Amino acid sequence: MAQKKITIRTIAEHCGVSVSTVSLVINNKPGIRPGVRELVLKTIEELGWRSNSLGGRFGNVTEVVLVGNPWLLSNFGGHPTQLTMARLIEKFEERGIISSTYYGRNLEVMRNCLERRPMAVVVFSSNNFLLRDAIEKLCAAGIRVVIAHAEWSEAICPRVHSDHVNAGRLAGRKLREAGCEHPAFFGGLGLRVHCTEWEELGSPVAEYLIGLTEEFPAFDFHRDMVGDAFGDVAEVAHMLQYGEYDGWIFQLRQFFNRFAFLRERLEKECVLPGIRRMITFDTAIQPSFPLSRYGCLAENSEKIAELVFQLVTASKTPEPMEYAIPYLWRADEGDYTTISSGADAAGAALLA
């Protein structure tokens, strides 16, 4: 009987860790606990797995470089970008493509790729003029570049990201269906409690609100939106006690968790009086709040990874188009949270 081929996934299963963790160890990247690193290296030795990447030389092995921001390392694998990267590494490994992942010093890494000449570079970073110049040089050198999880206005290469506008639209629609008439939004506004100018909102908050205001034209971000500046939720308490809002939207899990702590202080019941529904833009595999009247929209990391993989491995250089992937709606039924496969009619068609 032929011996089963040993892959990165095989190593990950033996160690009980993720494929992305094994990739970080192989490429000698930071962010891995010493014990985990030793376990992975020992398992590699025991299984007899070999890769040119271990010596820093790739020879004729096809390589794809993944470039991300350092803060991704602190999200414990729950951030949608981390989930996309992990799935991409798996898919590249299945195709026999080596993935090298770099966190930080993006510009330096991308400049180095001009000499290294990988098959492609996948950029997980927001728009800035320095990276734009580096991307244009990579494309001019015949190195394929794909941007993931970030909106870029410049059509310099394919860009794949979540459809934040449609997510805001769907959240508003769900609140309408629940009978809400005046929702509030609790999100990440940097160091601000309230924004005074639209330009201060930034992405993806601005896109969420564009969709939300289609369902609630009277929504005013000056009045109905609050941020978690320095962890202070006093303004949220004030807005709740004022009693004007009958629905809430939370941008991230961390904001919902802080709201939950505040809720316990203000009211013993699970749901505040007058609040018809609470919705989050969630990132984890399963929501941590299986209670009625709650729901969440999750970025479809699986679909984003699949499309990025197709663009990287396509036989012809893809056009510099922008692709917006619909969110998944996770609805509650009674006391248990279930996942539905489609956001709406248009979203379901794209996800099919």
Residue 305, pLDDT > 90, answer yes
More confident residue, 180 or 260: 180
The tens digit of pLDDT for each residue in 41-90 reads 888 878 877 654 434 433 445 889 999 887 776 654 457 888 888 899 98
How would residue 347 be classed by pLDDT, with cut points 50, 70 and 90? very low
Please report, for the chain, the start and end positions of each structural domain, with discontinuous segments joined by +.
Answer: 8-157, 164-300+330-351
Residue 224, pLDDT > 70, answer yes
The tens digit of pLDDT for each residue in 4-41 reads 677 888 888 889 998 888 888 877 666 788 788 889 88
Do residues 282 and 339 touch, judged by C-beta distance below 8 A?
Answer: no
- 29 to 15, 24, 89, 287: CA distances (angstroms): 18, 5, 15, 30
**Secondary structure (3-state) at 82:** helix
How would residue 309 be classed by pLDDT, with cut points 50, 70 and 90? very high
Query: By C-alpha distance, which of 226, 210, 88 is closest to 80?
Result: 88
Distance, CA of 13 to CA of 10 (rounded, Å) = 5
The CATH fold of domain 8-157: Rossmann fold (3.40.50)
The length of the chain is 352
169: Cα separation from own chain's centroid: 19
The tens digit of pLDDT for each residue in 112-143 reads 999 888 999 999 887 677 788 899 999 999 99
Give me the pLDDT at residue 73, please. 67
Asked whether the whole model's pTM tops 0.85, one would answer no
How would residue 326 be classed by pLDDT, with cut points 50, 70 and 90? very high
Identical fold at 8-157 and 164-300+330-351? yes
Give me the pLDDT at residue 341, please. 32
Number of Cβ within 10 Å of residue 94's Cβ equals: 12
For tokens 């969420």, what's the residue? 208
Give me the pLDDT at residue 331, please. 61
Query: Would you call 187 exposed, middle or buried from its count of C-beta atoms within 10 A (0-12, 13-18, 19+)?
Result: buried
Query: By C-alpha distance, which of 82, 89, 121, 88 is closest to 11?
Result: 89
The tens digit of pLDDT for each residue in 171-200 reads 999 999 888 999 999 888 878 888 889 888
CATH superfamily label, 164-300+330-351: Response regulator (3.40.50.2300)
Q: Taking residues 150-179, report their average pLDDT.
A: 89
Give me the pLDDT at residue 67, please. 92
Give the CB-side neighbour count of residue 346, counting CA atoms within 13 A. Answer: 9
pLDDT over 70, % of the chain: 76
Give the CB-side neighbour count of residue 171, counting CA atoms within 13 A. Answer: 33
**Mean pLDDT in the chain?**
78
Instruction: Provide the edge-to-edge strand list for the sheet that holds 247-250.
Output: 225-227, 183-187, 247-250, 277-282, 294-298, 328-330
How would residue 210 be classed by pLDDT, with cut points 50, 70 and 90? very high
H helices within the chain, ranges in order? 8-15, 19-26, 34-47, 80-94, 106-116, 129-140, 164-177, 205-215, 221-224, 234-242, 253-266, 301-313, 345-351
